[in-house]
Structure 1
Amino acid sequence: MTRPEEPIDDRTLPAPADPWKTIDRPVPTVNFGDPDATVHVSPADRTAYLPGPNPTASTVHIPPTAPTLHADVTAQTVRAQGETRFGPGVPPAPVATPAWPETATAGRPRPLWRRVVSLLSTLLTLALVVVIGLYVWQQFRPLVVESAAVAVPQPAGNRCNVTVDVVATVHTNGRRGVIRYQWLRSDAGPGALLTEQVGSGQRIATLTLKWTFTGVGTTTETATVNIIEPSPLQSSTDVTYRCRRG
């Protein structure tokens, strides 16, 4: 129903705005020109000024729907392999330190007398080491039996019922040690194991066997000294006994 006093408005009302059409609307793209230029965006009038010979000609007006943009392309830029990163959070690229030039030192030959003194010192040191080594080896090397000889200093002759001394003379290297030995007689079994103590510097040791003969007759026997330690060695001699009492 209309009132007669009011004019009739026959204009068509516009269709209501669809709110879904504003969702996911792409933001307008603004090209700033030179990629190395600095862009200052003011939030008041949303106007971007680009550097150039004519600043008024490089003014870009951003629509109201565009967000406020603060860009500073003058910050540090790092270019990696296949990737470019820039901004205040990117660490600065390391700067290669120049290498110090190598200086060649000219070698000066030593004087002749210094070389002679060095040679003599080396020879003296070597001789001293050899002498000390020989001394230590002489002091700590073990006892060695070098040779042995057995003899009868006073033979029995024509005496009857006599005791003969059989003496073994043993030559050593002069070191301290113990000789272990036994006497072997041809008329009996092996004798007991005996020992002889040798002092330091003693190069001759005397081992004595007392062999007693009794009865009437003539015989020739053999006495052998058998050295067991420090190295095996044997030496023998003949002992003759004659008794013609009748």
Structure 2
Amino acid sequence: MTRPDGPFDDRTPPVDPWATVDRPVPTVYLGDPDATASFSGSNRTTRLPAPDPGPQVSPSASTVHLPADDNPTVRAAGELRFGPGVPVAPQPTPAWPAAAPAKRPRPVWRRLVSVLSSLLTLALVVVAGFYLWQRLRPLEVESVTVAVPRPAGTRCNVTVDVVATVHTNGRSGVLRYQWFRTDAEPGTMLTEQIGTGQRTAALTLHWTFDGTGRTTETATLNLIEPSPIQAGTKVAYNCRRG
């Protein structure tokens, strides 16, 4: 039996029984066919998809404008600034609106037709308004006159007609009136219907005188509606019998 020259070292690592086995290289699938991880001995290589580089900021840029935020961030030559107080780029001045193209002048005959049409329309409006005003205006009394068409003269026991002529505006309505005589009490209330277009109305008082003698009385028309008006005249009676 031969004795070893050196001391016995029992720390020699054991031989890996799988080291001599030709096994396939393990592959790890990470969801992408192009992403594999190969492990072969001490050389372990992992191939993954290249990450999205994202937006690149050039170091030479002095300012980077980001979306509006309460605390903007500015990168200037490799320096980042956060928080308020960072200067904001001025807003561009709005451009002046473009001038509208000049319109061609209208022909003279078209302007003349437009003026005539406007005048005709105005005239029609005035006429229609006046007509409606005439139709809708109420009855009005313009004047009243009282007269004795046939005086009694020297006749005896005679009836004298006292006629009051009322001038109106031609509108329809009702006249309300009464007669006053100096020798009697006020008469009863009477009415007279006025038609459309009727400009005058005759109101007659029949006054009868009897006996002999001479007298002068007064007959007065007291118009109450549509407006209060009074008008009167003298009535003479002279009867001489021998």
Give TM-score scaled by structure 1 length: 0.60
Q: How does 1:107-118 map to 2 (within 5 A)?
A: 107-118=103-114
Alpha-carbon distance between aligned partners in 2 of 1:167 and 1:79, rounded to the nearest angstrom: 99
Indicate the RMSD between aligned Cα atoms, in angstroms.
3.0
Closer, same or farther: CA 242–112 of 1 in aligned 2, 3 Å: same
Match of 2:216 among 217, 220, 235: 220
The yes-or-no answer on 1:163 pairing with 2:159 is yes
Name 2:41's counterpart in structure 1: none
Deviations 1:80-128 (A, max 9, x none): 23355xxxxxxxxxxx9xx898443222211111111111111111111
Q: In the alignment, does 2:195 pair up with 1:206?
A: no
In structure 2, C-alpha distance between the alignment counterparts of 1:228 and 1:101, rounded to whole Å: 75
Distance 2:188 2:72 in 1: 100
Query: 1:187 deviation in Å?
Result: 1.3
1:126 aligns with 2:122: yes
What corresponds to 2:47 in structure 1?
none
1:82 aligned to 2:78? Answer: no
CA distance in 1, matches of 2:171, 2:110: 44
Structure 2 unaligned regions, length at least 5: 1-36, 38-50, 57-65, 74-90
How many corresponding residue pairs? 168
The percent of aligned pairs where both chains have the same amino acid is: 65
Task: Provide the residue aligned with 1:175 in structure 2.
Answer: 171
In the alignment, structure 1 residue 153 sits paired with structure 2 residue 149: yes
**What's the TM-score once normalised by structure 2's chain length?**
0.61
Confirm whether residue 140 of structure 1 aligns to residue 136 of structure 2: yes
Look up the SS of the partner of 2:178 in the other structure. strand
1:189-204 map, 5 Å: 189-204=185-200
What is the 5 A alignment of 1:42-57? none
For 1:143 and 1:234, how far apart are their aligned partners in 2?
Answer: 17
Q: 1:74 offset after TM fit, Å? A: 4.3
Q: Superposition pairs for residues 53-72 of structure 1, below 5 Å?
A: none
Q: CA 1:237–1:79 in 2, change beyond 3 Å: closer, same or farther?
A: closer
Unaligned stretches of 5+ in structure 1? Answer: 1-43, 45-69, 85-95
